[in-house]
Structure 1
Amino acid sequence: MQPMEAGPDGRFAVASRTAGGPGRIVLALSGELDEDTVDALRGALYAAPGAGHVVVDCSALRFCDSSGLNVLLRARLRMRERGGRLDLADLRPPVDRMFEITGARSVFRVYESVAAALAAGPGDGPEPPSRA
């Protein structure tokens, strides 16, 4: 796993690892994802240009504001344009609530765990609409 810290107070971290085969990456997020820390996530997403499947592990993410949501939505669109996909795993309250309230939960494939997301094949699960 390759950790990258953001923010002077260490409130957020993202770690990247390959998983489940070539072109499959898990980004494990922890802490608070907001306007001050979102550059670390953006950097990690751009650091994996060849990935066909990115799973964002949100199990340790305590907070996500609209800045973080926008980066995830844009990354999802970029992945779709290249024929790949970006899925979310293990959303915790209040992050899950924010995704639900904004309607973003219906845009992403959301899995209960990273293992479930990695086990899902390219056609598994309903493809959310392309409206993000």
Structure 2
Amino acid sequence: MDHAGVGATGSDRFAVEMRTQDGIAVLTLRGELDQDTAPPLRTLLDLALDAGVSRIVVDCAGLDFCDSTGLNVLLAARLRAESGTGAIELAGLRSAVARIFAITGASAVFTVHPSVDAALAVS
């Protein structure tokens, strides 16, 4: 899977775009991730995992809000990835979203990078 960019939008409140770089899928999230907007993220995560991508970096720098549905989509993808040899990693968590991950304990199960560039620099 070597897409230059695959986009999907859940609504005017949320957008997700996927690109690959050196075999790593990078999903860039923007807006509010919640029950109404989560399906496109789930679709792109499934697409990447179905294609056998072993490492997915989710760029959260543009994510303003994430509720339990969004969190569960990411956690489910993480479990699916790790059932093989893959990994889902997070990058650029902003304070409001980072707080949700910390309160729920989810930040302890993801590798979290300060930025996408930092994530891609790790081999």
Point out 4+ residue stretches in structure 1 off by more than 4 angstroms: none
1:103 to 92, 105, 108: 105
- Structure in which a larger fraction of residues adopt strand: 2
Q: Which amino acid counterpart does residue 104 of structure 1 have in structure 2?
A: A
- In the superposition, the TM-score normalised over structure 2's length comes to 0.92
2:9 to 5, 8, 12: 5
Query: Which residue in 1 is equivalent to 2:28?
Result: 28
Percent of aligned pairs with the same amino acid: 51
Query: Which residue in 1 is equivalent to 2:16?
Result: 14
Q: Which amino acid counterpart does residue 100 of structure 1 have in structure 2?
A: A
Alignment of 1:1-132 (within 5 A): 1-7=5-11, 10-19=12-21, 21-22=22-23, 24-48=24-48, 49=50, 50-121=52-123
- In the superposition, the TM-score normalised over structure 1's length comes to 0.86
Number of residues paired by the alignment? Answer: 117
**Cα separation, 2, equivalents of 1:120 and 1:86:** 13
Shift of 1:115: 1.1
Q: Structure 2: give runs of 5+ residues left out of the alignment.
A: none
- Structure in which a larger fraction of residues adopt helix: 2
